[in-house]
């Protein structure tokens, strides 16, 4: 389906639960992800028109020690490189600034997954996000949030992030048939609220920088 919609690249980001798993368990998880990714690569082969495939993780790290634990595992990062996708979690109490600082101190480029969906408690979400960006983080909004699949609050906040230029990229966060958020739906939603270049920045240029994909 992605191929039919002209998607140039797909990055698999299976969950890596750094907050609840031991280093040994995390290493086993990363090895299993790599094994299964290799199977997918073999099935796709060199078929014409198929997206380029990449492998990363969505690292659950509400605290800096969680992220440091994950970063010790060989192969962690998009294509085993310096970019890491981090999820702070859905309950208050995470320390986003410390998590970003820990990643940056390790020489990583930190992308925070779906910040529009976090539980901020009494904290101003936009102020928190500006602090994270000031520390060097990039923000990735879920396309499903823009489509209203994660509630009105996430939809409104995600839309604000895109309109105000706070979001750096938009992803499907595709989870199979129970969350089939297709790129063409996300594109249509963004085209209703943003000028063409801003849409391109979120769906083409931003992801392209992460994956080093040449964009037409």
Q: Give per-residue pLDDT as tens, 151-177.
A: 999 999 999 999 999 999 999 988 877
CA gap 102, 97 in Å, rounded: 9
Quote the pLDDT of residue 213.
59
pLDDT, one tens digit per residue, over 75-131 is 999 999 999 999 998 888 899 999 999 999 999 999 999 999 999 988 999 999 999
Mean pLDDT of the chain: 93
Find the Cα–Cα–Cα–Cα dihedral 122, 127, 128, 132, rounded to 10°: 180
Quote the pLDDT of residue 174.
85
Quote the pLDDT of residue 184.
92
CA gap 170, 69 in Å, rounded: 27
Ranked by mean pLDDT, the top range of 47-56, 96-105, 142-151 is 96-105
Which helix (H) or strand (E) segment is 206 a member of?
helix 206-211
Note whether 64 and 98 are within 8 A (CB).
yes
Quote the pLDDT of residue 93.
86
Structure token pair of residue 196: 């063409």
CA gap 209, 186 in Å, rounded: 19
| Residue listed under structure tokens 């009494």 | 122
In this prediction, what percent of the chain has a pLDDT beyond 90?
Answer: 80
Residue 49 CB neighbour total at 10 angstroms: 7
Find the Cα–Cα–Cα–Cα dihedral 54, 17, 15, 72, rounded to 10°: 0
CA gap 166, 134 in Å, rounded: 11
Please list the helix, strand and coil fractions of the chain in percent, rounded to the nearest 5, in that order.
45, 15, 40
């Amino acid at each position: 389906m992605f191929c039919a919609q002209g998607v140039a690249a797909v990055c698999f980001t299976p969950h890596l639960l750094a907050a609840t798993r031991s280093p040994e368990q995390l290493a086993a998880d990363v090895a299993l992800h790599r094994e299964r990714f290799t199977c997918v690569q073999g099935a796709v082969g060199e078929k014409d028109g198929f997206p380029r495939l990449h492998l990363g993780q969505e690292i659950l790290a509400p605290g800096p020690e969680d992220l440091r634990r994950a970063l010790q595992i060989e192969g962690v990062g998009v294509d085993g490189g310096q970019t890491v996708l981090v999820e702070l979690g859905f309950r208050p109490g995470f320390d986003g600034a410390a998590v970003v600082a820990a990643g940056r101190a390790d020489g990583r480029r930190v992308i925070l997954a779906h910040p529009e969906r976090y539980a901020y408690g009494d904290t101003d979400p936009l102020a928190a996000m500006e602090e994270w960006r000031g520390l060097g983080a990039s923000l990735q909004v879920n396309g499903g949030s823009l489509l209203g699949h994660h509630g009105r609050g996430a939809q409104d906040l995600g839309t604000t992030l895109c309109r105000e230029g706070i979001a750096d990229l938009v992803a499907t966060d595709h989870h199979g048939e129970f969350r089939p958020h297709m790129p063409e739906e996300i594109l249509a939603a963004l085209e209703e609220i943003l000028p063409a270049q801003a849409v391109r920045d979120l769906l083409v240029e931003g992801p392209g920088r992460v994956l080093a994909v040449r964009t037409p």
